[in-house]
Structure 1
Amino acid sequence: MTTDYKSRPWLAVLLNLFMPGLGLVYLNRLALAAATILFFPLLLLIAGRAGLVFSALGFLLVTLLLTCFWLASAIVVFRLARRHPLASRGWLQRWYVLLAIGIGAYAALQFCISFRGVLFGYDIFNMPASSMETTLLVGDDFIANTLAYSRSGGQGPQRGDVVVLQNPVKAKLKYVERIMGLPGEQVSMRDGRVLINGKAIADEHAFHDLSKPEQVSNQQFTVPPDSYFVLGDNRNASLDSRHFGPVPAEKIYARVELVWFSYGVSSVRWDRLGLAVK
């Protein structure tokens, strides 16, 4: 059973700001409501799978598009409510059904965001420790490509890649490290330098925090097949392959691509926004 009722523009806008598309359900514009609700996860899916979010310009454009669409949908809802004050009211427009739809749609969106690494092809992290200074600083928010090594025909992890990985011993812990040793190589360290098969390699990203004791490792590691030797750039403050050994390839979760936000001790570090991680 449906009846005509007078819609309230302010209520329609509030509903739509809470969950884009909910205000359109209130106005009984169901097709438009469904398209609006689906817009956000579909855009994130396309942007992630196509790699748009891994460049500063692409990330900015996607963020602006999401924000503008959110605000524009509220304006559209307001104008529709003013232009057509009488709308057909069915069971979907009852307050408790609207509440259930709003909570359900919001929960579904949060579920997708929580599993964005699997669904959308990217994940977002905050750097809590100094183990990757000066490449990544404490307070950096960065985006990582979870499909970097899973595409058919693509390259596997390369020396120098900064990656997010699962701790081989404690799977729930994720670390950020730099790949230094490849499968089958002999890795050792001498006088702060990394030696591969007995020869020192370029290591321009290494940082030695002189306020902390030097972590000396005279052990030579043989990297097993399909495994990688990883080190933190801050060699005096990193828990890495010197402690837990080479990391199996299946434990490498994503490749770090971009710092999208950074907050220091008391202010935003504007010079780091959009910084490509190398």
Structure 2
Amino acid sequence: MSFFRRKRLFTILLALIVLVGLIGFSLTDRDQRSTIEEFFQDAVGWVQQIVLTPVNYVTDIVSNIDSMKNMYDENQVLKENLAQYQQTLYEVQELRKENEELMNMLDKTESISDYTPIQATVIARSPEQWFKQVTIDKGKQDGVEKDMAVITAEGMIGKIQSASQFTSTVLLLNGFDRSNRIAVNVDLTESDEDARGFILGYSEERDQLLLEFTEYYEEVLEGEHVFSSGLGGVFPRGLEIGTIEEVTTDQYGLTQVAYVQPSANMNDLRHVIVVDRDMTTSTDIDESEEED
């Protein structure tokens, strides 16, 4: 047993000596390598190529998947940012529109300084008459009363149909009939006098107001402006109502009538002004001072 152990130990030592010698020989600087070294070097290169090719392929696939995932995440973020930008842009446009409307309302308030302007906001439309009635956030506590005129910066939109303590219902012009007629004047461009008449209702077919003149006027032209005359004591004088679109006669050919396009857009109402007709005007004050 000891003989075989010594022989095996001797063989191992000899192999280690040869291995160390080969390693030392391979580490020396030489211009030429042996055939065995070249073979092992080429073999190692081929093995590395065989192993690294699928590894690199898988690595590229994983890298592409990561890139696609990152692109998807970035795309989602960009979509969210775009949606927020569009929402912000819409809000800015709405604020600009509202600001312009409020500025026009302010100018309108100053132009009707002879009356008490009551600023109000539309808070609802009546479901049963969606296009004919709206509810505003001002009522009797704010001085609103039945039959007061309601206007926007563009023109008259209707009147107070009913008022509670804190809210009121507005009957729009497109809901008017003969029981809600408005005395009006038409500013004739070719005459020194105004034409007189009454708004008697609304034509659903033409989507325009129906004006009936008190007499026949040859000077009435399309595009003439229609204003409230103040007669009857319901509406103040000088509130713009609309412009004449067509002048004709009634079905019997006896009365001159006209179709009037309202100045105000009654389908897009936000801020309105209730006009207190009972306030003493500057003209009345001047007349009372002259009497004193």
Does the pair score TM above 0.5? no
Q: How high is the TM-score relative to the length of structure 2?
A: 0.21
Q: Which structure has more helix as a fraction of its residues?
A: 2
Point out the structure with max Rg over C-alpha: 2
Q: Which has the higher contact order (CA 8 A, sep 6+)?
A: 1
Q: How high is the TM-score relative to the length of structure 1?
A: 0.22
